[in-house]
Amino acid sequence: MDCIFCKIVAGEIPSHKVYENDSFIAILDINPSETGHTLIIPRKHNENIFDLDEDDARELMPLAKKLAIAIDRSLHPDGMNIRQNNGTAAGQEVMHYHLHLIPRYSGASPDKKDFTALAEAISDQII
C-alpha cells in the first residue's frame, strides 16, 4: 500500500510523535495550520469515517479529549478546532482516516518551530 500514514505508522517515514498506543499514533502535522496542530491516526488503514473500525471509533473521542487537554496545558491556545474530513470534496488529502486537533490563537501563535521540543512539551502534559 502506498499510504503515507501507513508508512508513518510502520516507522518507514519519520514523524514527531506526541502519543501512541496499540490502536493509534498522534503526530504533529508537518504542514501545520497553527503551532501544535496534531493528527490522530489509527494504526489500521481505513479510508474515512465510513470505513473506520468500530473499536477505533469508540476509543477515538476519549483519546482526542486527552490530547486536546495536553495541547491546552502545554501551549495555552485561545481555542481549538477538532476537524475530520471525508473524501476529496470535503478536503481530505490523505485517504487514511485521521482527526485534526488544531489549537487556535487570538494573537500570534507561539513561535515554536522545533517540532521535537513541541512534541515533547505536549507529550509531557498527557495524563
Q: Which is catalytic among the residues 16, 37, 98, 100?
A: 98
98 annotated active-site:
yes
Q: What DSSP line would sit under 56-106, residue for residue?
A: HHHHHHHHHHHHHHHHHHHH--SEEEEE---SGGGT--SSS--EEEEEE-S
The answer to whether 122 touches 75, Cβ cutoff 8 Å, is yes
| DSSP-assigned letter for residue 110 | P
Nearest to 103 by CA among 87, 86, 81, 127: 81
**Residues assigned a catalytic role:** 98
